[in-house]
Chain A
Amino acid sequence: MSEDQFPRRKFLLGAGIAGTALAAGLSEPVEAQQPAPAATAAPPEPEPFVTLTALEAAFITAAVDTLIPADELSPSGSDCGVAIFIDRQLGSAWGGGAKMYRAGPFTKGKPEQGYQLALTPREYFAAGISAANAWSRKTYGGKDFDRLGTADRVAALKAMEDGKAEFENFNARAFFAQLHAITMAGFFSDPIYGGNRDKIGWKVLGFPGLPATYSDKIDAYRDKRYVADPQSIADFS
């Protein structure tokens, strides 16, 4: 096969560019992180919720702040953008049930058969939050979950996690698992999705983010910590 019949050069080039871009990226953040000139910088506005209702947003904010409390390692979950992340995810194609088989008939099934509801993730969270708040009001003197003090919030989430909270017509334990999973995704996914602000989740772990050309580093860093200022998708845009 001759060279012009097959774009081999393009392939070689493709592989080369990938490597070079990453290698170059390692030295990029100094420039990328230059602060914008002070005169043009507006004070940051709080980001609005676009999917969740005010009541739902209050629940999610309280939940992620309880699951991820502010401490010496990071600000609270909502201050890391996790509530906004959840808002955006539930409004995404995934949140709307994309790639999900939704035809009936619907039957509870065995746990081995997995999720068997018609609800999309967005609908599931709406129903779950509503059920959780109803349970919270019943259990904690008429208060919605977000009105509880820290200790009660922790106790409430623990009760859901352990299956001890009995929601009316909704599986509390399964709801907690979903809430926990989406919160973790928000703390650790690329910041482009609204969470993991300032790559704080990655910094907690020591995860370097995108630049990942390690063929020369595996042996060099054997039993030595490899430290790099993490970089995300936006750092290369």
Chain B
Amino acid sequence: MVTKLKETDAVVIGMGFCGAILSRELTKAGLNVVGFERGADRNPAEEFTLTRLRDELRYVQRLELMQDNSIDTVTFRNAPDELALPIRRFGAFLPGEGVGGTGIHWGALHWRFLPSDFRIKSVLTEKYGAKSIPDTMTIQDWPVSYDEIEPHYDRFDKLCGVSGQAGNLRGKQIAGGNPFEGPRGNDYPNKPIKTGSGPQMFSDAAKSLGYHAFPVPVATSSAAYVNPEGIALGACEYCGHCNRTACEANAKASPNVNMMPVLRTEPKFELRTRSFVTKLLYDKEAKRVTGVVYTDMKTGEEYEQPAVLVVLSSFVFGNTQQLLLAGIGDAYDPRTGKGTVGKNYCYQFEAGAEAFFEGREFNPFMGAPGMGTAIDDFNGENFDHANLGFFGGGYIACLNGGAPPIGGRVLPKGEPRWGEGWKQAEAKWYRCNTRFNTQGSVYAHRDNFMDLDPTYKDALGRPLVRLTYNATENDHKMSRYLVEKMEGVIKAMKPTHYEVHNRPKNFTIVPYQSTHCTGGTMMGTDPGSSVVNRYLQAWDAHNLFVQGASVFPQQHGYNPTGTLGALAYWSAKAITEKYLKSPGPLVHA
């Protein structure tokens, strides 16, 4: 039996960065907010502590902070004519679970998209002609411009205490920063973090080739900093341990550290953890969501929580699944191209490399996931694509994220992986290699999408999301081009030996590649081509606002968190300043 509770002003489903931002902005506007999180509460004072966090086995190998696949997972296949099978333990991507979501274990690389990314279809059409875009490439312009969301990028930068070097401050080029970035209204809150030996050599080599190297922007504060919420952040200690874990120094941004402390003392906010929202209650006639049904995992009881406003801020898969289950919007069908929910699933198409410098000492265990330098010369439309045979690009970086001993070792090809001579090889190469990666865009393809699996169900009896995704010829060409450029810089660094790793032809669900999954509930200018409008308001339910990377029309050549945080602030502003005054569609279709 479902117990019906008293109506609340707003519910927020999923307490990652977007959920925390929306909860904060809505309570500030006077709303009573119930925050739902299906996983554990994660309180930094208890969990982000030493020696607890210094445990590679628990966090990096056994995935302590990640979604519990025994409760919920995703099925996967490469193509629409294949049989999808469940991902039994996550590998290629690692959505988090619990308060903080994926915003705890992320690497904190904090980028903005290019101004041209926001109108990519128009730009490509203008530059290369409409015919140059293949029919199968279902890219779209964003319904917002860089200039419109720039102030919100700025707010999110400040919340996170981002460290970096501006390259374009209000239109003025600043030496040492990224010359391709959109104009920033304000400088980064913090100076760049330190640079390790490998990244420094990369920067020098890139500059010698005429490229524009700069420090990678990171949501890891380089110095003590108090964010606009009044929360004191510590300085990064370069411990090299924080990828897939949290930060005990409160330097790496997370919802838990940078926002939740304020919400925890906010009387208008109620956090319900281990509360699994299974269903959105949709009144199709009235075009609104009347509330949610959830199971309290601590008691096994089921509740209905009516709400005036509903914010859906779970991961890409959860957002898409909720809309499909509730029948909000039309499910995408790749055969007809009709429908929008589940459409344009995209990913990050990364390739990598490592270079070995025999006899050098890089102390690779000193680092932070975003500690590095990058070039942006081959991202988006920063370079000419005429006659290249592909669109898109990405940044190329040399990163020193730490070298945890179980998973952070790498050996040159030909060295033994075990047995005689293996330890000697590890001792020789562990301390003198440096890593590179290309953060390639993924421009949407007609056949890459999500729908509901016809066979497999989650522990609560709901159909799993079925992911159909493969690497496209465009993305392979783009990536090979980036790898070629990366190789040029590596050669100029004069390593003893180096190896590059192109992606295999088919996307595989193992090993780990990137958690930059996007799409499924994309934003756009009209209901025929999108699920939510420019304010992230569902076209088919005016009191439902969908947050996160699921609203990206396609994925560009950068880590997505900077943009999803900016969009959360942008959406919150529209809700509090426009929607609450006059509830109804903010954009008329």
Which residue numbers of A lie inside 8 Å of B, CB to CB? 1, 5-8, 10-12, 14-15, 18-19, 21-22, 66-69, 71, 73-74, 94, 97-103, 105, 107, 109-116, 154, 157, 180, 183-185, 188-190, 193, 201-202, 204-210, 212-215, 217-219, 221-226, 233, 236-237
Contacts and interface: CB of A to CB of B under 8 A. Distances in A.
Contact of A236 (B51, B241, B405): B51
A133 to B, nearest CB: 20
Interface residues of B, number: 78
A221 B510 contact: no
B70 A217 contact: no
Contacts of A69: 419-420
Interface in B194-217: 194, 196-197
B85 interface: yes
Contacts of B406: 184-185, 188-189
B113 interface: no
B366 A71 contact: no
A101 B88 contact: yes
Given A73-B427, A112-B508, A19 B234 contact: yes
A225 B249 contact: no
B484 interface: no
A11 B229 CA distance: 13
B419 A66 contact: yes
A201 B77 contact: no
Contacts of B236: 215
B584 interface: no
Nearest to A99: B68
Contacts, number: 210
B57 A103 contact: no
Nearest to B510: A114
Nearest to A115: B88
B175 interface: no
Given A109-B85, A180-B418, A189 B56 contact: yes
Interface string B143-172: 000000000000000000000000000000
B406 to A, nearest CB: 5
Contact of A214 (B68, B230, B366, B417): B366
B73 to A, nearest CB: 4
B431 interface: yes
Query: Which 9 A-B pairs rank lowest in CB-CB distance, beginning with the nearest?
Result: A212-B239, A15-B234, A188-B405, A214-B366, A189-B57, A112-B508, A214-B238, A67-B418, A18-B248
A111 to B, nearest CB: 7
Interface stretch (B337-345, B357-365, B541-549): B357-365
Nearest to B455: A105
A231 to B, nearest CB: 10
A193 B405 CA distance: 15
A116 B73 CA distance: 13
Contacts of B76: 112-113
Given A1-B230, A19-B249, A114-B510, 4 more contacts: A21-B50, A113-B509, A115-B510, A193-B57
Contact of A11 (B194, B250, B510): B250
Nearest to B224: A15
Given A110-B82, A217-B366, A71 B423 contact: yes
Contact of A115 (B73, B89, B366, B409): B89
Contacts of B366: 212, 214, 217-218, 221, 226
A213 B234 CA distance: 12
Contact of A101 (B69, B83, B261): B69
A109 to B, nearest CB: 5
B232 interface: yes
B209 to A, nearest CB: 23
Contacts of B431: 205-206, 225
Interface in B495-524: 506-510
B85 A98 contact: no
Contact of A212 (B240, B261, B456): B240
A69 B241 CA distance: 29
B8 interface: no
Interface string B421-438: 011101100110000000
A33 to B, nearest CB: 17
